[in-house]
A = this chain, B = another copy of it.
């Protein structure tokens, strides 16, 4: 019984792949919102929004805190760390590219 032999080690990327979920994260920067409140901002049903929130929570991009009969969804920056860490590996190649550009300019050739 092993239905998921190779889960993505960085679930944040899949969570960020959907424009709706990115919009939700933007929404939650100004304030924490309940599921119903988030839903009012989008042209889709509440269950659909709840699914998006579940994926964001799984990726540690938000936290969900029970609040009476409501559930308050709050931006969680922890999930961003893995994503930015993976991306930061490529920073060195940016530097390399700038060096190449600089060398090209000095050499007089057209980059």
Which residues of A are interface residues toward B (Cβ below 8 A)? 6, 8-10, 13-14, 16-17, 19, 22, 25-26, 29, 75, 77, 80, 83-84, 86-87, 89-90, 93-94, 97
Contact = CB atoms under 8 A, between A and B. Distances in A.
A29 B89 CA distance: 10
At the interface, is chain A mostly helix, strand, loop or mixed?
Answer: helix
A81 B93 CA distance: 13
Contacts of A9: 19
Contacts of A84: 87
Nearest to A90: B80
Given A22-B86, A29-B93, 9 more contacts: A9-B19, A10-B19, A13-B13, A13-B22, A17-B17, A26-B89, A83-B87, A84-B87, A87-B87
